[in-house]
Structure 1
Amino acid sequence: LLLEAERINEIDTLAKAHLSSHFNKETLLAKGYTLKDIMQAQRRELVRKFVPIEQIKAIAKASDISHIDGEILEQLVSLAKVNIKLRKNANSNSSSVDAIKGNIIAKSEERVSLLDSNFVPINFTEFVQAISNTYKQRRAQFYENLKRNKRTSIA
């Protein structure tokens, strides 16, 4: 019972810190939702927001998290916690870009993009990184399309 209470507190703390006020436990309890439903919604939203779709597919064998439950959902929540810590560490070290490069954190920084509908920046530095990555992705896509169009017009 104590372990379950600690887990509920941990999920609620993460939800308060990283999710919108729509997922506030006290507000939802006052509206008549059960604690189980609230915890389930908070877990799923943490996964949706902080776990890339490729990782969800790799672990759950499905991209739709609305039907994921039990141990698989707990694994995805643990992965979301790791990704939150990586983002925080990357942003706290952002003053020294060289310290980040060559580390696992560099990969998470390169992934943030405004093109990802699940991406929500946690601070201004991450927002700027997402804008930069979006520009790089669009530029690469533009030149790839340009090359493809030249090949088709030559042939």
Structure 2
Amino acid sequence: MSRPTVRLLLSHPAHFLSLGLGSGLSPVAPGTVGTLLAWALFALIRPPFSELGFGLFLLAAFVAGSLFVPLTGRALGVVDHGGIVWDEFVAMWLVLWLAPAGFWWQLASVVLFRIFDILKPWPIRIADTRFKNGFGVMFDDLLAAAYALLCLAIGVRIMATV
């Protein structure tokens, strides 16, 4: 397994996207750095889309990631290399899209997503270990997104009763 480099990042569009526009090159916590960049980019990429359009964009980003992430994985020697953060981008955009509006809800979205992506509770860990391909890399982060969204929904219910 090798470390991603700027040379690899710039050598192919698949690597540029897989490595999260460079955020995956972070020597410390590339998944968290990628998630934070995805959060920052959300404010730029969301506005031009309708609800349906953004849903289709996320679907296309998921499918495309399932296809190009393995190219970067092969170049790095492991399909789910920590520097590959496109899966964090897509999952974080999904959570932010469905989360309640406002900075604090967005911050909670980021924190919850990272907790579930790092801890990998059931069935995330099963998906992470069983599906060692592009789909699997993308899918386990969707499961972490689902856990984060569930917690946010519970938080909304609790806040409505306070």
Higher relative contact order (CA 8 A, sep 6+): 2
Which protein shows a greater Rg? 1
| TM-score, reference length from structure 1 | 0.30
